[in-house]
A and B are shown apart, each in its own frame.
Chain A
Amino acid sequence: MTGAGRHVLEVEGITKTFPGVVANRSVSFDLAEGEIHCLLGENGAGKTTLMNIVFGLYRPDEGTVRVRGEEVSFSSSADAIAAGIGMVHQHFQLVPTLTVLENVVLGAETVRHGVLELASARRTLADLSDRYGLPVDPDALVGDLSVGIRQRVELLKALYRDADILILDEPTAVLTPGEVDEFLSTVRELVGMGKSIVFITHKLREVSQVADRITVLRNGEVVGRTTPAETSEEELAAMMVGRQVSFTVDVGTSDPGEVVLEVSGLVVDDNRGHAAVRDCSFAVRAGEIFGIAGVEGNGQRELVEALAGMRPVVAGDVRLRGRSLLGLDPRRIAELGVGHIPEDRTRHGLIGAFSVADNLVLNRYHRPPFARGLVRRRSEVTAHAEELVATFDIRTPGVDVPAAQLSGGNQQKVVVARELSRPLEVLLVAQPTRGLDVGSIEFIHRRLVEIRDRGTAVVLVSAELDEVLALADTVGVLYRGRIVASMPAAEADRHRVGLLMATGSEAA
């Protein structure tokens, strides 16, 4: 720990309840000057609530917040910013149609004679960029920037407001592996220059890489305070989840059969009509997990949607056991034995306002036994739901509650349960564990391996390289819409695949 000693932020005995939920129960936490203090916990553990209180977005029911030894009571984030606190939210708060410079000054503009004055802001921004090693083009439109650069803009926004206490909420959730490493070293540098940082995360690897101290939250309470030297990732995971968890699912050995899914020369457009998938070819065998690694935005979404029939194919072919799927609608493809766990569960996979039971039959509601002719049979739908809730351990107050009320992990379990509860030839899985906690990830990984062992051909697309490497039997790298390399899992190491993801070739 550098700086050792002076506490710039102290939180004591914070309790915050929302109707029906205790988000924080007498939580205490402190941040020393010049340290990185990781706030670790599963989704819903109360990490963000606690920091939103510090940042003035919520008022605590009980407890005190002290900044540099002085008790404060912020009534809005403006007060917190004035006290030198900056927060980078998990979901960026940027205006895509404005430039970097405009975004940075937004809310803190200098106005002269009623006219926006940007020249001095431009100089300040250039200074900050230099000093903290955060290069940006001040005139680029934020909407054109990659996620990694946008995060840089968020940091600059906080620094522009003279924040020296930075709260970073799940800052790496949206970054690629390369960007994560770069980001973590940036964070280290910021601390080296006197900033103090609260780093909210549920990723254990980052914690051990970057933390000076660690506070673990579970169900709104502090369950552990430690340092990386005193603990291990296994121990931290157990603290977070409240029980022992295994990190690496035992994938066993696969026993691939014949080719089930064959993609050849596939071309698919994105929403703007540009080719996102270009001449993409691969084959997946029965009883095999074909993992597709790649930096996000290289055609993953378009590829999966085209395979599921949700997006038109421009050229090429997709064959299921020799039969072309081109031109078939999503229902027909599903009925031929193709399951699909979509990338965005709230946008595609679920209807949040519908009950858990209805969501569990979302693509089979019209078939017996769930309907007789045009009339739905609610007792069958309910019985089916109760069975799946039990077998897939979906934590819900009942099968009639709207799916939107479930936690992210349990929502994903609803999708997984629905797709895996019927015989499948092929399972398309996109980002199956995004935003989920360790316990749910473990559960979903086990299920994927299980269905592979039953002879299904699994196509796994994930932005988490670790996930692909842990589960796949064959690893393909998607770069600019093409599978540029494909190799057995044994030959795929982080470095080799990372290079292919970044450059599209192994010769770099």
Chain B
Amino acid sequence: MTTIRATYLRMAPVSVPILAIVTALAVAAVAVLASGSDPLVAYGALIEGALGSPERIATTVGRATPFIGTALAMAFAYKAGLFNIGAEGQILAGALLAAWVGTWSFLQGWPGVVLIPVVLAAGTVGGFVWGLVPGVLKARTGAHEVITTIMMNFIMSLLAVWLVNSLDPIILRDPDVSVARTRPLPEAARLWELVPGTKLHLGLFIMLGLVAATAWVLDRTTFGFEVRAVGTNPESATYAGMNVNRITILAMALSGAMAGLAGAGHVSGAEGFLSPGVFVNVGFDAIAIALLARANPWGIVPAALLWGALLSGAPLMQQRAGMSTDLVRIIEATVLVFIAGDAMIRWLFRIRSNGEVSTA
């Protein structure tokens, strides 16, 4: 009996998020009922829409792919004690640079082994620069990164709209199509689709590689040690001889680079061009996903998949249960409330938290 109980408590890092999701679905069912639909039908459709066929699963995973990069960016910065709200701008900076560089005329005709790395590198640089600026501002002037990254988001989203929409002069816009988007990347610069007809592409493995690399850097390298030290106790880090300012700047820039790489992957893999509105809310959902994963790099993968599933299942739910796709947002929000307030879940399911030990 006690061992069962002990195992139950030891499973808390996994069981608490799962129980939070279940509880959130139960609570959101009230909203479904209130809107006059049957929760079982709605949830059944949601699950079927997300996972009902190989293609649907592929779509779900494809939608999750950019979330992995942006949530990882958020989590990495968080380990350094930084609250990077700027993944939204950084993913766009990366996507924009990738979409532009990929269409440079002198690059045309080169094979994929050259073009794909060039496009991905361009995206990484774009995100790096967009993260570097708030990092430098934080380290040199003390400007809070929450404020500066939000402002950087505005700058980038409006800059992207102008660069891509402008007809006079034409800057990045593809004049051959009626909608506002950049000119298409050459076929050779495209990441391969994994399941034809879905937006699941090789970028998934790039993102998984990034997760592995980030986890390894944080856990096994001196730089990762410095990042965690600065993030946990900057004063001890200074005492230990670490250059807190340098580490802050680098962590913020690398965080941006991760989001930028995600943006380049999306342009190269899913779309082949950039339309400026495609990443709306991706950066903000990243905050939620990183929170759900408790900033653990590997935890981000299932959390991002959950997000992808909710988004890709929503249309079928709307169709079957005759309700708004906005309900998915309510479910997401409810999940977050229970994750953020995990004390509620721990109380509800009698999972004691650690650190209750007191002496004196």
**Hey, which bits of chain A sit against chain B, CB under 8 A?**
18-21, 23, 43-44, 46-49, 52, 308, 310, 329-332, 334, 340, 342, 347-354, 358, 362-363, 365-366, 371, 374-376, 378, 405, 407
Contact = CB atoms under 8 A, between A and B. Distances in A.
Contact of B357 (A21, A352, A353): A21
Which 10 pairs across A and B sit closest by C-beta, in order of nearness?
Answer: A331-B241, A48-B360, A348-B239, A363-B240, A362-B240, A366-B222, A330-B241, A351-B233, A374-B221, A351-B236
A362 B228 CA distance: 12
Nearest to B223: A374
A340 B239 CA distance: 9
Given A49-B359, A49-B360, A376 B225 contact: yes
Contact of A20 (B235, B238, B357): B357
Contact of A362 (B236, B359, B360): B236
Interface in B71-104: none
Nearest to A23: B359
B359 A310 contact: no
B84 to A, nearest CB: 21
B178 interface: no
A483 to B, nearest CB: 24
Interface residues of B, number: 24
Given A351-B232, A352-B233, A374-B222, A19 B357 contact: yes
Contacts of A350: 236
B229 A351 contact: yes
30 contacts: A18-B356, A18-B357, A19-B352, A19-B356, A23-B359, A46-B359, A47-B360, A310-B239, A329-B241, A329-B243, A330-B241, A331-B240, A332-B241, A347-B235, A348-B235, A348-B236, A348-B238, A348-B239, A351-B237, A354-B228, A362-B236, A362-B239, A363-B239, A363-B240, A371-B222, A374-B223, A375-B221, A376-B221, A378-B220, A405-B357
A363 B360 contact: no
A18 B358 contact: yes
Nearest to B239: A348
Contacts of B352: 19
A374 B222 CA distance: 5
Interface in B303-360: 352, 356-360
A48 to B, nearest CB: 4
Interface string B225-263: 100110011011111111100000000000000000000
B304 to A, nearest CB: 26
Nearest to B233: A351
Contacts of A43: 360
Contacts of B225: 358, 365, 376
Interface string B210-225: 0000000000111101
A402 to B, nearest CB: 10
Given A49-B358, A374-B221, 5 more contacts: A18-B359, A49-B359, A348-B236, A362-B240, A366-B222
A330 B239 CA distance: 7
Given A354-B232, A376-B225, A363 B359 contact: no
A363 B241 contact: yes
B327 to A, nearest CB: 39
Contacts of A330: 238-241
B360 A376 contact: no
A46 B360 contact: yes
Contacts of A19: 352, 356-357
B357 to A, nearest CB: 5
Tell which of B220, B232, B239, B358 has the most Cβ of chain A within 10 Å. Answer: B239
Given A329-B243, A365-B225, A375-B220, A349 B236 contact: yes
Contacts of A376: 220-222, 225
Contacts of A407: 359
Nearest to B354: A19
A52 B229 contact: no
A352 B360 CA distance: 18
Contacts of B233: 347, 351-353
Contact of B239 (A44, A349, A358): A349
Contacts of A46: 359-360
A342 B228 CA distance: 21
A372 to B, nearest CB: 10
A310 B238 contact: yes
A425 to B, nearest CB: 16
B184 to A, nearest CB: 39
A334 to B, nearest CB: 6
Nearest to A378: B220
Interface string B190-203: 00000000000000
Contacts of B221: 374-376
